[in-house]
Amino acid sequence: MLLPKRPKSSKLPYILCFLSIGCFVFVSLFSLKYYSYITLLTKPKTQLVNITCRQYIASDNRSFFERDYPQLNLPQQLSNFSYENSINQLRSFRLIVLSCARNIDRYIDNYRSHIEPILDLFHSSSSIHIFESDSKDKTAEKLRQWSRLHVYTHKKLINKYRDRTERLAYCRNTLLNKAHSLSPDYILFTDPDIFSADVSSFLSNFKYNQADWSVMAAGGRYGYYDIWALRTLSDSVMNYDVWHRVWNLSKSSENYCSKSISDQIIGIHGKHIPIEHGLVEVRSAFGGAALYKANSTYECQYDGKGPICEHVPFHLCIREKHNGRIFINPEFYID
Ligand SMILES: *[C@@H]1O[C@H](CO)[C@@H](O)[C@H](O)[C@H]1NC(C)=O
Ligand SMILES: *[C@@H]1O[C@H](CO)[C@@H](O)[C@H](O)[C@H]1NC(C)=O
Ligand SMILES: *[C@@H]1O[C@H](CO)[C@@H](O)[C@H](O)[C@H]1NC(C)=O
Ligand SMILES: *[C@@H]1O[C@H](CO)[C@@H](O)[C@H](O)[C@H]1NC(C)=O
Ligand SMILES: *[C@@H]1O[C@H](CO)[C@@H](O)[C@H](O)[C@H]1NC(C)=O
């Protein structure tokens, strides 16, 4: 028996279904930080049909810190620095530790074992605050078992803020306001899934005259990874949003191979910064943790709309409003 012919309009649900699956995949990739896949997806025709794509080659392939740009009056190392002196001094300061958390249950024990000894260096009124949202694992339950911790949970922010950077900005601003209400001397923002700094690496921030810096951002032990949050002091070196640059180049008529674009725009800057290099002054950097002098953070807020890396507007404000100086400290490594 012949099946009745389907009316033409019945294709519509399939098309809509296909489109919404496509959309879902796109949005999920984006929210999962797999930006490089998006680059591939946004350029499927040329990537799949034209296998003769061209290699994109940056005119200078040195990492940002290897290039020459102004690094004047870097903070001086204290001649009388010692871990003992530093520890005695920190005891009178209040530190507020802040973190945003999502699906990190497997990292909590490690995080706790590294952050508590740092917290204990400071005055007993110091405290740690974590804002959790959108987790599908046991993050919230596990955080609640940590007695010393102040936990704020917000089941679902994803419906309100689609961009991950906007959710992070909301989280960071909420925590920052909380911290400000506690009149801290220092604020330490950390990414709990990667933070594992030991006490001596943290104390290296206090080797420098405290009047000379506002922010000390972490380096990495094996490589510098947080290129999106980075803005150098130079007008020509890495002073733009790297993902916007990648997207722009992918869309250009030059038919560049996607991998060569992300390697040359982002990959080349991921080199490890040797400790001997000393501080690198920047307009913005995060690197998984940053220590802020609390006074330099008032009236500044995070903003992830764009999407752009939410740290950048916050750091630019610290520079503008408070004449704050921001450094990457390669000795303050967190992984
Ligand atoms: C593939 O890319 C090359 C280099 O950009 C271009 O010259 C060529 O015309 C493209 N071929 C097709 C089929 O689009
Ligand atoms: C960087 O560029 C130089 C010459 O411009 C080249 O010899 C070298 O292989 C490049 N290094 C990398 C890692 O691409
Ligand atoms: C270390 O030197 C700085 C300035 O050079 C001074 O303010 C500070 O009190 C000294 N600290 C100690 C413990 O001597
Ligand atoms: C990307 O392209 C837009 C539109 O041409 C331009 O305004 C923007 O500055 C570019 N961004 C980067 C980082 O190259
Ligand atoms: C930071 O702010 C507090 C409170 O307003 C003030 O007492 C202190 O002197 C400030 N510290 C610095 C280094 O400006």
User: Tell me: the pLDDT tens digits for 196-209?
Assistant: 999 999 999 999 99
User: Are 98 and 172 within 8 A, CB to CB?
Assistant: yes
267 falls within a domain:
yes
333: tokens are 């490594």
The mean pLDDT value of the chain amounts to: 88
Residue span of the structural domain in which 287 resides:
92-333
Does the beta carbon of 85 sit less than 6 angstroms from any atom of ligand 3?
Answer: yes
- Whether ligand 3 lies within 6 angstroms of the CB of 87 is answered as no
CATH of the domain at 227: 3.90.550.10
Alpha carbons 65 and 278: distance in angstroms, whole number: 10
Q: Is residue 181 part of a domain?
A: yes
What's the confidence (pLDDT) of residue 34?
Answer: 52
In angstroms, the CA 116 to CA 17 distance is: 49
Q: Is residue 96 assigned to a domain?
A: yes
Write the DSSP symbol of residue 283: E
Strand partners, 216: 291, 327
Is 105 buried (19+), middle (13-18) or exposed (0-12) by CB count in 10 A?
middle
DSSP symbols for 216-267: EEEE-SS----GGG-EESSSSSS-S-HHHHHHHHHHSTT-B-HHHHHHHHTG
Residue 143 lies in a domain: yes
Does ligand 4 have an atom closer than 6 angstroms to the CB of 50?
A: no
pLDDT at 330: 96
The answer to whether residue 56 sits within a structural domain is no
13 assigned to some structural domain: no
Mean pLDDT in residue range 41-60: 71
Residue 127 pLDDT > 90: yes
pLDDT at 84: 92
**CB 125 less than 6 A from any atom of ligand 3:** no
Which one of the ligands is nearest to 85 CA? Answer: 3
The verdict on the CB of residue 253 being under 6 Å from ligand 1 is no
162 domain-assigned: yes
Average pLDDT rounded to a whole number, residues 221-243? 91
What is the number of structural domains in the chain?
A: 1
Closest CA to 285 of 226, 330, 239, 235: 226
The pLDDT of residue 12: 58
Q: What's the pLDDT band for 6 if we cut at 50, 70, 90?
A: very low
Give mean pLDDT, residues 77-90. Answer: 93
Does residue 82 surpass a pLDDT of 90? yes
Looking at residue 295, the DSSP 8-state letter turns out to be G
Is 242 contained in some domain? yes
Q: Residue written as tokens 């008032």?
A: 298
Query: Contact at 8 Å (CB) between 294 and 178?
Result: no
Ligand 3 touching residue 10 (CB < 6 A): no
Rounded-to-integer distance, Cα 280 and Cα 195, Å: 20
Residue 28, pLDDT above cutoff 80: no
Residue whose CB lies within 8 A of the most ligand 3 atoms, among 78, 208, 209, for a mutation test: 78
Distance from Cα 173 to the centre of ligand 3, integer Å: 34
Q: Which atom of ligand 3 is nearest to the CA of 89?
A: 13
Q: Which phi and psi angles does 50 have, rounded to 5°?
A: -95, 95
